[in-house]
C-alpha cells in the first residue's frame, strides 16, 4: 500500500480536536498563438492546449501538416483562461519560432524564478530545436549586423555556444537572432521577438566573451566557459503489471516499445521503435520491460521526449492513442556526468496509471442529461456536416434528438458524423420529460475516469445536423465510483455545462452521538477509509470501504457519496482517505 495520492482529513469523533490537510493544486498554463495547429488562433484557455507537467516545467507538443505561408509563427503562454491572466513573454511581446520538417514543435514553460545564473531569471519560455537553424549575436559591438566571428555553434539538443571577441571595453546591448536577418527569429530579454535588448559588459580591450544559448531551456548566459557535453545511456523501464492483469498486454505475443522525438515518434505497428525486453528481469520483476538508448548533450538538460507504446490491439485500436500510452509525454533529462541512468523505483507505469484507475469488473453505466432550455453554444464555428451557416439552436423536445460520444465507447471516441454517432442516441426517460438517458456496459479493464460530450441533432434530419456541446473540446469528466452492484448511475448532467468531478475526497465527520459518528466520503475504486486513535497513527485501513465493495450512500453532484455510522472507540477518533496505487 502506497499513499502517494492521499487526501487526508483528520477529525475527532468526540469534537476534542479538529485539523485538516489540503493538496495544493497546480496552476494551469495554456498555449496560444498563430501556429497553424491552434484552432482557433490566439484563443486563451482552450482545454486542448493546456500544458502538462509541473511544477518546475510544463510542456505541450503540437503537430500540423500546414506549413503554408510564413513558416515563423508566434506564441505565448497564459496562466489562466482569459487575457486578464498573466501571460508570457510579458510586456505585450510574443515568442517566435518555426515548426520542424513535419510541422511539429514542443513548447516549454518554466514558471517562477530560476537562480542558476542564466537569463532570463523569471518565467522562461523554450521550444524544441526544429533543426537546421543557425544563430548569431548582433549588438552595439558589431553594428547590429552579426557576421563572421559572431555565430553560435550547435553542440547538441538545441544548445548553441561560441566565444566572441569584443574590441573595446564597455557595456553593450545585443540580441540573439537567426543568421543574417531580423525578419525570422530574434531573442531579447524575455525570449520575446520584439523585447528589450540583452546587455553585457567587458573590462578589457579586447576581451573574449563566451556565450551559450539553450533554446529548449529558454535561457542564455554570458561569461561562462562552454560546458562539455555528457554521454548518458538511459534505461527506459515500464511496469506492465496492470496491463497484463487486464489483458491489455500479452507477454510473448505483444511487444512494448519506446517512441520519441529523437526517432520521429514511430508507431508500434511500424516495428521501428526501441524494443523493450524483460529478460533478464530488471529489479527481479518479469513484468518490467526495459531498453537502453544513448543521449549526448549539456549536463542536466532535457534532451528528448518519449512515450511507451504497445502493439497490443487494445491500445492500437484506440483512435486517440494508436498504441501510445495515454497522458503527457515523458522527458529525458541528462545527468551532470557521463554514465548510465537507471530508472527510479518505483518504475513508471503505463500512462502513469495505477491499479485504481481501472474498472475491475464489467459495469453497466447510465448517463442522464437534462435538456431543458438546452441551447447550442454561439461559440461553435459551424454545424457539423450541415450546409447552412451555423446559428445557435434551442432544443426542441418534439423534433430534436440527443447523442453521446466519449472515451468509454468501444475503441474510444467515435467520429461525430451521422453514421458513427447514430448508435449512441439517448432515450427520453421518463417519456415526455426533458431527461434523456443512455446505458452502456463499460468492460473490465476500462478507465474509471469517463470523458464524454453530448450532441444535439436537429432539423429535418437530426442525424445530419449535429452540434456537439463544446467545439473547444471541453468534456464532462466523471468517475465510476462503485462497482460491487454491477451498475452505476452518473449524476444528471446539464447540456452545455461540462462538469469535472474531483477524483476523490469530501471526507466529512459529524459530532459523535449515541456511540456512533456519521462519516461520508467521495469514494471510488481503490479509495479506502483509514482510522486511528491519534493523529500520528498507527492507521488501520478498512478494505471494506473500497469502491469495489461499498454500496451504502447517496447521489451527489460529484457522484456516489459513500456514508456510514461509524462506532466510536476511545475519546478521540481520526479518519482519512487513501487511494491505492
The structural domains of the chain, with segments of one domain joined by +, span: 9-23+504-579, 30-127, 135-222, 230-352, 363-494
Give me the residue label for grid cell 549588438: 139
Give how far the C-alpha of residue 475 lies from the chain's centroid of Cα atoms, to the nearest Å. 15
Query: Is the Cα dihedral 119, 123, 129, 130 positive or negative?
Result: negative
- Between the alpha carbon of residue 290 and those of residues 34, 280, 339, the distances in Å are 39, 10, 17
Residue 243's H or E segment, with its range, is: helix 241-245
Distance CA(260)–CA(322), nearest Å, equals 15
- What is the per-residue pLDDT across 558-571, written as a single tens digit (0 to 9) for each? 999 999 999 988 88
Q: What per-residue confidence (pLDDT) applies to 281? A: 97
- In this prediction, the residues of the chain whose per-residue pLDDT falls under 50 are 1-25, 378-390, 461-463
- For domain 363-494, the CATH architecture is Sandwich (2.60)
pTM of the model: 0.68
Q: What per-residue confidence (pLDDT) applies to 70? A: 62
Instruction: Look at residue 163 and give its three-state secondary structure.
Output: strand
Q: What per-residue confidence (pLDDT) applies to 185? A: 92
Out of 3.50.50.60, 2.60.40.10, 3.40.50.970, 3.40.50.1370, which CATH number does the structure's domain 230-352 have? Answer: 2.60.40.10
**CATH superfamily, region 135-222:** Immunoglobulins (2.60.40.10)
Q: What per-residue confidence (pLDDT) applies to 387? A: 38
Question: What is residue 425's DSSP assignment?
Answer: B
The yes-or-no answer to whether 135-222 and 230-352 have a common fold is: yes
Q: What per-residue confidence (pLDDT) applies to 474? A: 79
Amino acid at each position: 500500500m502506497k499513499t502517494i495520492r492521499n487526501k487526508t482529513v483528520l477529525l475527532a469523533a468526540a469534537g476534542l480536536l479538529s485539523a485538516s490537510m489540503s493538496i495544493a493544486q497546480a496552476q494551469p498554463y495554456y498555449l496560444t498563438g498563430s501556429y497553424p495547429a491552434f484552432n482557433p488562433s490566439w484563443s486563451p484557455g482552450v482545454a486542448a492546449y493546456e500544458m502538462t507537467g509541473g511544477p518546475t516545467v510544463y510542456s505541450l507538443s503540437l503537430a500540423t501538416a500546414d506549413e503554408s505561408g510564413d513558416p515563423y509563427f508566434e506564441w505565448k503562454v497564459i496562466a489562466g483562461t482569459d487575457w486578464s491572466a498573466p501571460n508570457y513573454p510579458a510586456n505585450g511581446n510574443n515568442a517566435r519560432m518555426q515548426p520542424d520538417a513535419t510541422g511539429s514543435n514542443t513548447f516549454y514553460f518554466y514558471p517562477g524564478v530560476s537562480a542558476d545564473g542564466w537569463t532570463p531569471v523569471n518565467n522562461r519560455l523554450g521550444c524544441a530545436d526544429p533543426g537546421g537553424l543557425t544563430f548569431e549575436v548582433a549588438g552595439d559591438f558589431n553594428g547590429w549586423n552579426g557576421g563572421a566571428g559572431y555565430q553560435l555553434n550547435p553542440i547538441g539538443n538545441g544548445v548553441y555556444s561560441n566565444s566572441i571577441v569584443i574590441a573595446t571595453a564597455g557595456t553593450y546591448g545585443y540580441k540573439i537572432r537567426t543568421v543574417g536577418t531580423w525578419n525570422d527569429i530574434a531573442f531579447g530579454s524575455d525570449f520575446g521577438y520584439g523585447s528589450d535588448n540583452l546587455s553585457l559588459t567587458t573590462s578589457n580591450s579586447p576581451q573574449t566573451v563566451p556565450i551559450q544559448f539553450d533554446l529548449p531551456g529558454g535561457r542564455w548566459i554570458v561569461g561562462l566557459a562552454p560546458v562539455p557535453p555528457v554521454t548518458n545511456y538511459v534505461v527506459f523501464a515500464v511496469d506492465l503489471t496492470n496491463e497484463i492483469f487486464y489483458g491489455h498486454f500479452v507477454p510473448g505475443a505483444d511487444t512494448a516499445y519506446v517512441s520519441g522525438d529523437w526517432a520521429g515518434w514511430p508507431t508500434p505497428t511500424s516495428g521501428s521503435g526501441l524494443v523493450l525486453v524483460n529478460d533478464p528481469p530488471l529489479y527481479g520483476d518479469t513484468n518490467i520491460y526495459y531498453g537502453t538508448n544513448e543521449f549526448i548533450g549539456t549536463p542536466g538538460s532535457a534532451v528528448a521526449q518519449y512515450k511507451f507504446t504497445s502493439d497490443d490491439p487494445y491500445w492500437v485500436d484506440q483512435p486517440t492513442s494508436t498504441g501510445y500510452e495515454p497522458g503527457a509525454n515523458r522527458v529525458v533529462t541528462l545527468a551532470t556526468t557521463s554514465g548510465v541512468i537507471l530508472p527510479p523505483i518505483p518504475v513508471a507505469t503505463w500512462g502513469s496509471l495505477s491499479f485504481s484507475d481501472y474498472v475491475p469488473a464489467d459495469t453497466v453505466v447510465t448517463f442522464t442529461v437534462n435538456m431543458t432550455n438546452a441551447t447550442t453554444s454561439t461559440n461553435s464555428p459551424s454545424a457539423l456536416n450541415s450546409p447552412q451557416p451555423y446559428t445557435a439552436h434551442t432544443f426542441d423536445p418534439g423534433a430534436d434528438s440527443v447523442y453521446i460520444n466519449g472515451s468509454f465507447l468501444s475503441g474510444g471516441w467515435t467520429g461525430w458524423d451521422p453514421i458513427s454517432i447514430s448508435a449512441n442516441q439517448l432515450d427520453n426517460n421518463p417519456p415526455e420529460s426533458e431527461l434523456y438517458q443512455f446505458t452502456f456496459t463499460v468492460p473490465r479493464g476500462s478507465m474509471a475516469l469517463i470523458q464524454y460530450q453530448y450532441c444535439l441533432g436537429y432539423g429535418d434530419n437530426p442525424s445530419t445536423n449535429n452540434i456537439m456541446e463544446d467545439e473547444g473540446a471541453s468534456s464532462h469528466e466523471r468517475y465510476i465510483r462503485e462497482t460491487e452492484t454491477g451498475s452505476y448511475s452518473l449524476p444528471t448532467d446539464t447540456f452545455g455545462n461540462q462538469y469535472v468531478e474531483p477524483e476523490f475526497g469530501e471526507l466529512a465527520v459529524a459530532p459523535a452521538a449515541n456511540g456512533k459518528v456519521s462519516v461520508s466520503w467521495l469514494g471510488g475504486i481503490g479509495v479506502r477509509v483509514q482510522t486511528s486513535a491519534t493523529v500520528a497513527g498507527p492507521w488501520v485501513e478498512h478494505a471494506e470501504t473500497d469502491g469495489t465493495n461499498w454500496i451504502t450512500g447517496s447521489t451527489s453532484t460529484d457522484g456516489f457519496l459513500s456514508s456510514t455510522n461509524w462506532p466510536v472507540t476511545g475519546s478521540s477518533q481520526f479518519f482519512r482517505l487513501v487511494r491505492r496505487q
